[in-house]
């Protein structure tokens, strides 16, 4: 299951991603927004990030104008590793090395064709573990340190 979310800037791209996932018979849940009407991206990014962090979905894709705002929000949620991706090499690398469980796309930065290729590459790539897992464990330690009140 893949969680999808967007703001108004990413709405059309999210719809294109939905169509592409349907063609591949990949299950998804759409957390909105559901139109091009202006909205605040944090709530939609949070819905996707929480769904991934709670294990309700394996991964998430969030679209906004740049991909940046939604990535900042998603990375506040412990357990989420969200990457803004604008090229196919990074799409593969962020799964292989960072085990990114959320990809953030900038609809005003990249075209639909590239965005769909990025999603495909990221979904098909596999985490390589080993030294990369050690680094993710270090990220987790930082998260835990800053989660203490
Ligand atoms: C909305 O205008 C825009 O700020 C948003 O989509 C995103 O780019 C924020 O990072």
Measured in Å, residue 42 CA sits from the centre of ligand 1 at: 10
The average pLDDT across 27-50 equals 98
Assigned fold of 2-147 = Ribose 5-phosphate Isomerase B; Chain: A, (3.40.1400)
Question: Model pTM?
Answer: 0.97
At residue 149 the predicted structure's pLDDT band, cuts being 50, 70 and 90, is: low
Q: Which of 6, 97, 104, 132 is catalytic?
A: 97
Q: Indicate which atom in ligand 1 lies nearest the CA of residue 69.
A: 10
Nearest residue (by CA) to ligand 1, atom 5, is 65
Domain boundaries, the chain: 2-147
Q: Please state, in angstroms and rounded to a whole number, the distance separating the CA atoms of residues 134 and 18.
A: 34
Query: Six-digit token pair at 122?
Result: 């990221």
Quote the ligand 1 centre to 148 CA distance (angstroms). Answer: 31
pLDDT tens digits for 82-129? Answer: 999 999 999 999 999 999 999 999 999 999 999 999 999 999 999 999
In DSSP notation, 52-83 reads HHTTSSSEEEEEESSSHHHHHHHTTSTT--EE
The per-residue pLDDT of the chain, averaged, comes to: 97
- What value does the mean pLDDT take over residues 13-36? 98
Q: How far apart are CA 40 and CA 20, in angstroms?
A: 26
């Amino acid at each position: 299951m893949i969680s999808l979310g967007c703001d108004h800037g990413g709405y059309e791209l999210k719809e294109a991603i939905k169509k592409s996932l349907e063609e591949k018979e990949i299950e998804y849940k759409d957390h909105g927004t559901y139109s091009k009407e202006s909205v605040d991206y944090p709530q939609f990014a949070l819905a996707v990030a929480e769904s991934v962090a709670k294990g309700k979905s394996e991964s998430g894709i969030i679209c906004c104008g740049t991909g940046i705002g939604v990535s900042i929000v998603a990375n506040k949620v412990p357990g989420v590793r969200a990457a803004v991706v604008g090229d196919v090499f990074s799409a593969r690398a962020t799964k292989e090395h960072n085990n990114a469980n959320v990809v953030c796309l900038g609809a005003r930065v990249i075209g639909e064709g590239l965005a769909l290729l990025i999603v495909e590459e990221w979904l098909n790539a596999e985490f390589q573990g080993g030294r990369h897992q050690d680094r993710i464990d270090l990220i987790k330690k930082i998260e835990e340190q800053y989660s203490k009140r």
